[in-house]
Amino acid sequence: MTQSDQVTPAEPSRLQRVTWELWLILAWVLPFGPALASVKIDGMSALLIVPASLVLGPALALLTLWPRRTLRRAGHSAAPLRLVPFLYVHWWAALCMPLGMTSGARSSVSPLEMMLPGTLPPWVNQLMLLGGGLVALTSWVLMMLAAFGDPAAPAPTVERRWRLAGWLAVIVPPVLAVALVCAGLFGPAFARDAAGGNGFDVALMRPAERVARTASVYEAMQRQTSPARERIAREGWSYEVGLNWRPHLGDERQSMCAAGAFDCFTVTVNAVATKPSATSDAAVAEAVAWLRSEGWQEDPDGADSDRAAFVRDGYQLAIRSTELPGTTTQSWSVGIESPPLWGADREIRTTVPTFFEQYGTSRGRSVETYRFDIWPAMQ
């Protein structure tokens, strides 16, 4: 090759110079990210991770800076274009990894969730942690291979491609991370709730409309359990109505409530037969048989010696032996819990306060008693 055929190295771009300076700074900062995250999420984890970081952090920093030191001795004052994409991908991934860390406890939140208006589904934190770790390792290996590869300046066409790849590595990873977080926060809100609406529709409703849809679910629950109550006792039923904010039951029925930026709740209705003399074990067995005939499936996880549990269409129903308040007299109760509803339970309580003052779970069972097919209206 003649001198005129040789490729003359282009003047380093601002991106290359900035990358060169960031390389030195981030090499010493990012390895300590897991230690900082562990301090935020769980003191016990920090006892293990922080001491390990004091040893591994400097080692990782020096290993990451090894190519930079070699390039500087060779006369470089800016990052070669072929390294820029791998460096930025590595940095973004190494930043995402500690943001997705949790202690593993059910109530634990990640550092990322601490900065958000809602919680994230577990898969988002797992993807940030495990996916970020895998991408960080892969991009670091590719960066090392590129750093000690062919030192010749690339042809102009190849140089333009590397420059484009570098800018894409700067922009695309954070955009993908933001999209992932948005999917975790707002994705669950597309699910239909017990009244048939999604989180976005319900958020735009007036309070009275949200109460009305909650009342419609409550009425449906009463109608579903009324025949079972009839078979146990025709008179003397007291009611207890509860709203459970954002239940975390861990099953598919409640998965839409497990995370997200929108509130949701379930409705519970517990009816107690206040006249035990009017009930019998045979009557309860008849109610259980009727439930089976109506398509209610037995739920072995919710059953025990004093309780028969069933599920159907997202509703959970239980017939259990119970002790009447203030006595040692045993009676029976029929309880049902709805699938999730979008909205804030506190808003429902404050919109119809009289109802929940008399029938809410925090005030005890209602003093009034009703026939099996009559119940108080939620208004």
User: pLDDT tens digits, residue range 229-238?
Assistant: 999 999 999 9
User: What is the per-residue pLDDT across 265-302, written as a single tens digit (0 to 9) for each?
Assistant: 999 999 998 887 777 888 889 999 999 999 999 887 77
Phi/psi of residue 110, nearest 5 degrees: -85, 165
133 shares its domain with 245: no
Most confident of the ranges 53-62, 84-93, 350-359: 84-93
Rounded Cα gap, residues 225 and 215, in angstroms: 16
Tell me, yes or no, whether 101 lies in a domain.
Answer: yes
8/150: higher pLDDT: 150
Q: Are 162 and 82 in contact (CB under 8 A)?
A: yes
348 shares its domain with 234: yes
32 shares its domain with 111: yes
The pLDDT of 214-230, averaged and rounded, is 94
186 shares its domain with 139: yes
Is residue 174 pLDDT above 90, yes or no? yes
Instruction: Provide the domain limits for residue 33.
Output: 10-190
165 shares its domain with 236: no
Dump the DSSP string for 217-261. HHHHHHHHHHHHHHHH-SS-EEEEEEEEES----SGGGGGGSSBS
Look at residues 190, 224, 241 and tell me which one is the last residue of a structural domain. Answer: 190
Tell me, yes or no, whether 39 lies in a domain.
Answer: yes
179 shares its domain with 241: no
Q: How many domains does the chain have?
A: 2
pLDDT of residue 2: 47
Tell me, yes or no, whether 371 lies in a domain.
Answer: no
186 shares its domain with 247: no
Rounded to two decimals, what is the model's pTM? 0.75
327 shares its domain with 223: yes
pLDDT of residue 22: 95
150 shares its domain with 169: yes
97 shares its domain with 115: yes
pLDDT of residue 362: 60
Tell me, yes or no, whether 1 lies in a domain.
Answer: no
Dump the DSSP string for 63-81. HHHHHHHHHHHTT-SS--T
Tell me, yes or no, whether 330 lies in a domain.
Answer: yes
State what percent of residues in the chain have pLDDT above 70. 88
333 shares its domain with 305: yes
Tell me, yes or no, whether 276 lies in a domain.
Answer: yes
Q: Label residue 3 by pLDDT band (50, 70, 90).
A: very low
Please, what is the average pLDDT of the chain? Answer: 85
Tell me, yes or no, whether 20 lies in a domain.
Answer: yes
Rounded Cα gap, residues 45 and 33, in angstroms: 13
Tell me, yes or no, whether 165 lies in a domain.
Answer: yes
Shortest CA distance to 268 belongs to which of 307, 328, 225?
225
User: What is the per-residue pLDDT across 324-353, written as a single tens digit (0 to 9) for each?
Assistant: 776 767 888 999 999 889 988 889 999 999
257 shares its domain with 313: yes
Look at residues 190, 223, 256 and tell me which one is the last residue of a structural domain. Answer: 190
Question: ∠ at Cα 33 (32, 35), nearest 5°?
Answer: 70
For 247, residues 6+ apart whose C-beta sits below 8 A from its C-beta are 254, 257, 265, 266, 340
Look at residues 138, 165, 190 and tell me which one is the last residue of a structural domain. Answer: 190
pLDDT of residue 280: 82
Residue with tokens 């981030």: 26
